[in-house]
């Protein structure tokens, strides 16, 4: 009986498929178990490159995201105003009323009607033009406070601003724009966008809404403008939003200005006083002309006797604004539209 002896290589060739049989035994190599990859797949040379590439891409993306977050955090700190929630600047506790500054708006565009020097109404019907009004008397030094009543509900356009501008700033401009702040000689706060603008660039941003009534603090000695709300209107400690407009040149005549772009937009503005070294009255303890004319905007929380005589004389001498009463408090004798009434 003839013994059949076959080598391991021959047996391996016989058990392979016909395509594999065409290969010579020497072309086959035994795969060691240590070389088996994931899920039993043989590890092939160059396979590591494909695994390293996605890892490097993921690492790069994560690094980019972290870097972007760091930049955003730094930018937020840069534009976030230095909010002082304890109250307005210290110099607002010693003010004096100067009648020569209590003159109201003198110059305005043809799209604006002024029933009183302190009340502005935009009568232009379209929104394709932004109109502005300018205070009569300029200021070039000292510290001053203005009070603005500018209701937000259905009474603020896409871009309405309040701030300072020189006589070179125009009173009209095509389109809905932040007119007070786009010129190189103007600085303003865009109320809807909550940002201060100079030369059409954002200086700082406010991370809170601007109330209906607020104060404008103008510090010409330091070249900056700040904003804050009214304690008597909101029944809490007055909140100072911060000096968010800066870089105003010293010893240059600047005018208090507002710009509007919505039809039938109403704004009241009043000069409240200028800082003196000592002996003046406190802004917070003095009722505004709006409060003295009507009580429906907030109750006066101090006695009228505490108001300086010069302040009361000037207030009584000016044609006080007529503020429209809420629907449930309407009076038959209330002024009608066109007579200075605030209607929305």
Sign of torsion, CA 310 288 123 335?
Answer: negative
**Residue 195: which of 213, 182, 183, 212 has the closest Cα?**
182
63 or 179, greater pLDDT:
179
Strands (E) located in the chain: 95-96, 105-108, 112-116, 119-122, 129-135, 143-149, 161-165, 172-174, 186-190, 195-198, 201-205, 213-219, 224-229, 240-246, 255-260, 265-275
Angle among Cα 285, 289, 290 to the nearest 5 degrees reads 105
pLDDT at 340: 36
pLDDT at 78: 43
Tell me what the pLDDT averaged over the chain comes to.
75
pLDDT tens by residue, 249-304: 999 999 999 999 999 999 999 999 999 998 888 887 787 777 666 444 443 333 33
Cα separation values, 132 from 50, 78, 110, 113, 172, Å = 64, 30, 9, 11, 6
Contact 139, 253 (CB under 8 A): yes
pLDDT tens by residue, 62-119: 888 888 776 665 554 444 444 445 578 899 999 999 989 999 999 999 999 999 999 9
pLDDT at 304: 35
Copy the structure tokens of residue 30: 């035994």
* Count of beta carbons in the 10 Å neighbourhood of residue 333: 5
pLDDT at 308: 57
Contact 272, 98 (CB under 8 A): no
Cα separation values, 180 from 171, 184, 188, 259, Å = 9, 10, 5, 6
Mean pLDDT in residue range 228-242: 72
Burial (CB count <10 Å: 0-12, 13-18, 19+), residue 287: buried
Say how far apart CA 94 and CA 280 lie, in whole Å: 4
Say how far apart CA 224 and CA 243 lie, in whole Å: 6
Give the position of tokens 């976030």: 80
Say how far apart CA 328 and CA 66 lie, in whole Å: 55
296-305: Cβ within 8 A, 24+ apart = 296/323, 296/325, 296/326, 296/329, 297/149, 297/213, 297/233, 297/323, 298/230, 298/232, 298/233, 299/232, 300/232, 301/231, 301/232
CA within 13 Å, CB half, 8? 4
pLDDT at 337: 34
Q: Which residues pair with 149 in a beta bridge?
A: 213, 268
Burial (CB count <10 Å: 0-12, 13-18, 19+), residue 38: exposed
Q: Which domains does the chain have, with CATH numbers?
A: 8-40 (no CATH), 86-321 (2.60.120.920)
pLDDT at 1: 47
């Amino acid at each position: 009986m003839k013994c059949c002896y076959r080598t391991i290589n021959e047996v391996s060739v016989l058990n392979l498929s016909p395509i594999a049989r065409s290969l010579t035994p020497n072309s086959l190599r035994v795969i060691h178990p240590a070389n088996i990859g994931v899920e039993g797949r043989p590890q092939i040379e160059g396979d590591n490159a494909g695994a390293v590439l996605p890892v490097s891409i993921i690492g790069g993306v994560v690094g980019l995201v972290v870097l972007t977050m760091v930049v955003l955090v730094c930018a937020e700190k840069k534009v976030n105003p230095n909010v002082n929630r304890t109250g307005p600047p210290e110099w607002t506790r010693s003010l004096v009323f100067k009648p020569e500054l209590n003159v109201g708006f003198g110059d305005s565009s043809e799209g604006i009607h002024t029933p009183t020097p302190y009340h502005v109404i935009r009568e232009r019907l379209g929104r394709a033009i932004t109109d502005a009004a300018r205070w009569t008397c300029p200021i070039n030094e000292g510290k001053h406070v203005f009070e603005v009543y500018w209701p937000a509900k259905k009474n603020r356009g896409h871009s309405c601003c309040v701030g300072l501008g020189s006589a070179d700033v125009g009173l009209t401009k095509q389109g809905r724009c932040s007119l007070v702040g786009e010129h190189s000689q103007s600085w303003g706060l865009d109320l809807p966008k909550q940002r201060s603008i100079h030369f059409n660039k954002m200086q700082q941003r406010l991370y809170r809404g601007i109330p209906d009534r607020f104060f404008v603090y103008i510090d010409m000695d330091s070249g900056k403008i700040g904003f804050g709300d009214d304690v008597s209107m909101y029944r809490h400690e007055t909140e100072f939003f911060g000096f968010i407009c800066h870089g105003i040149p010293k010893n240059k005549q600047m005018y208090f200005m507002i710009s509007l772009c919505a039809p039938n937009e109403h704004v009241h503005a009043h000069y409240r006083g200028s800082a003196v070294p000592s002996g003046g009255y406190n802004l917070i303890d003095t009722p505004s002309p709006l409060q003295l004319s009507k009580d429906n905007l907030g109750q006066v929380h101090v006695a009228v006797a505490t108001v300086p005589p010069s302040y009361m004389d000037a207030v009584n001498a000016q044609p006080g604004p007529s503020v429209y009463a809420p629907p449930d408090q309407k009076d038959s004798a209330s002024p009608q539209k066109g007579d200075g009434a605030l209607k929305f």
